[in-house]
Structure 1
C-alpha cells in the first residue's frame, strides 16, 4: 500500500516520511485516529516505505521486490495482529490471515463491522487472546528475513485485555530492527503500560472536502458526494458504506417528514412512515443520522455560529428558513427523538411502529409546541 492510495492526511504522511529520511524511526509507534481516518492504511504504507528498496521523495516506489510483496500484504517480514472471534482457545491471528488480507485489500478503511463480515462471528466477542500475545512474542524474537526491518502491525490494541502485559518486554526491548506499529481508535481503552511505551502519531478525522473529492472521482454525483461527505463526519469507512446503499435523497425525505409533522397531516404521515419502514436498516440509520446532523446545524445557525456550519448551499438555504419556524428548544427535542430512534433501529426495532411513534413526537414538538414527558427544554 502506498501513501498516494490514502485520501488526505498530507501532514501525517510528510511527518512519517521525514522520520525515515532523518533516521528517526521509533521502534514502537501508536497510530491513533478515529474510525475511518485511515490510520491502519497509513501504518501499512509507512511499513512499506521503510522497507522499500528504492524510496522516492514522497512515497515508496511500488515496483521493487519488497513493494510488490507489500502490495499483496504477503511480505515475509510483515506481520499482523488484530481482534478475531476465536473458535478454539489456541486460535491466533494467523488462523484468519487469508480473510484478513482479503478484507484489507478490498477496503483500506476496514472497520470492525466490516471485518466481522469476513468471519463466522456469530455472537462471539472480538478479542486478542493470550495465544496471540505469545505468537507476537515468537514472531518478534526472530531476525528480519529479507528487509532491514521486521514489522508487526497490531490493529485495535483496545481489544487486548490484561494479557497485553505479556507484550511489555518485547515492546520495550525488541530485537534490533523491529518495528511495532499499533493502530488504535480510543486511547482511553488501551492499557496504560502499553501506551507509555509508544511514540504517538495522531491521525485526525478526514476533511469534508477530501471525502467529497474522492467520492466524485469514484463515480458519485456532486450532490450525492456532498451529502455522503456531510453525513460521514470525517469517517471514510462510513462514507464508503453509504455508497453501497440506495441513492436516497435524505435531505428531501427529511424535509418532507418535517413538513408533514409541522402541518399535523396524519393522512400524509402514516403512508410516509410506511415508506421509511421499507428503506432497509442501513438506509434508515443513514436517514436518521442525516436528520440529527441537519438539526444540529440548525442549532448552530440559531446560536449565531454560522461559520461552523458545513452544509451544501441548497441545504444551508433550507436550514436558514427552518430556524425561522423552529426554535432552539424544539431543535434539541427533535434531535433527542432522532437519536433515540437511531439507537432502536440499530437494535432491530419494528421500523413501522418506530417511525410512527417518532412522527407523533415530532407533531407534538413542531405543531403543538409541547415536549415529550420528562424532557427539560426551555422554549424561547
Structure 2
C-alpha cells in the first residue's frame, strides 16, 4: 500500500499535544495517510521525549512509538509573534486540530477552539481533556493512573487481597486518542455530506473514556448487582473465564456458555461438575464461583500446559497460554500478522495500525522528528488561500 492509497491523504492535522492522548490520536491519523504537524514546547518539547529508558537517539522509545511519521515545530506561545505564526499556519493549512493542554491554556494565545474556528469555520477542533468539558473537575489536569483511580477502574483490578494496582498500559490515554479519531472522522464525514465550510468542536476526555471502558461494571451496579470487586483474571459475568495454573505454567480458559462448560467438564474428566445443579447454568456458576473454581484449579494443576491446550483445542474450547511480552514479540501469530514494523530509517520498531484495507496494512508513515525539525514550515505560504483577511490579523 503506497501513500496515494491511504484514506486520509488529503487531510492535514495539527497536533498541539504532549504525553499520550493527543499524540496517539495523531499517530493514528498519520498511519491513515494524514499529514500530521506536531507543535511542541520550544524549551523541552513533548514531555514524553524523556519518558525512558529505553531511549533511541535521545528520545524515549515511547515517544518514537507515538510520534513517528509526524513533522515537528517548536513554539513559544508566550511570544506573540510565534503565536501569530502558529495561528496563520493552522488557518492556512489545517483541517483538524488536536490539543490536550491544560484547559484554557491555548485560549490565552488565541489558539483555543473558539478563536480558531472563528478564523477558520471549516476547522474540526478536538479537545482531549482529563475530566470532561463540563462539571466541577473540568479544569482539573489528569494523568491515566489518576483517572484509573477516580473512575473505579482500580477498584476492580487484581485479586481480592491485593493493594490497588493500575492496568499497566495507559488505557485511558490511548482510548481517548481513539475516541478523538472517531469523533473527528465523524465530523469530517458530516462536512463531506453537508456544508464543507462548517467545522465542529469535539470534546473527549480520559474520564469519559474510563467510564466507557467501565460500561459493564457500571451497568451491573445500576441494575442492582453486587458491588464489583477484584477477581483476578476472572470475569464478573462469566464462569469459568480466567487463568488457571497448570503443572508447568498457566493458561486462560474461556468457557463462555453452558455448552462449552459441559465440554470442559468432559475433557477434564469431571462429569459430576457438569451435572451439579450449582454449576449447570452460567448464572449459577457465577453465584457459586467460590465453590467451582477450586475444583477446576485442583484438576488443572495435575497436567502440563501443552497437554491441556491440546485437549481443549481439540474440543474447540477457547484457551491459550499466558505469555510474557518477549514471547509475544516472537510468537508465530504475531509474526504472521506483520504488525511489528520498522520506521524507514530503521531506528525504531513499533506496532503498526491494527487495521487492514483489502488485506493490506498501512505502513509506518515515517521517522520520528527531532524537536523543531520542521520549523521552516512557518515561513512557507499557506496550502490554501482564504477569501478574507483573517490570516493577517495581529494577535492580541
Same fold (TM over 0.5): no
Quick check: which one's strand share is greater? 2
**Rg comparison, structure with higher value:** 2
TM-score (norm 1): 0.25
TM-score (norm 2): 0.24
Quick check: which one's helix share is greater? 1
Answer 1 or 2: higher relative contact order, Cα 8 Å, separation at least 6.
2
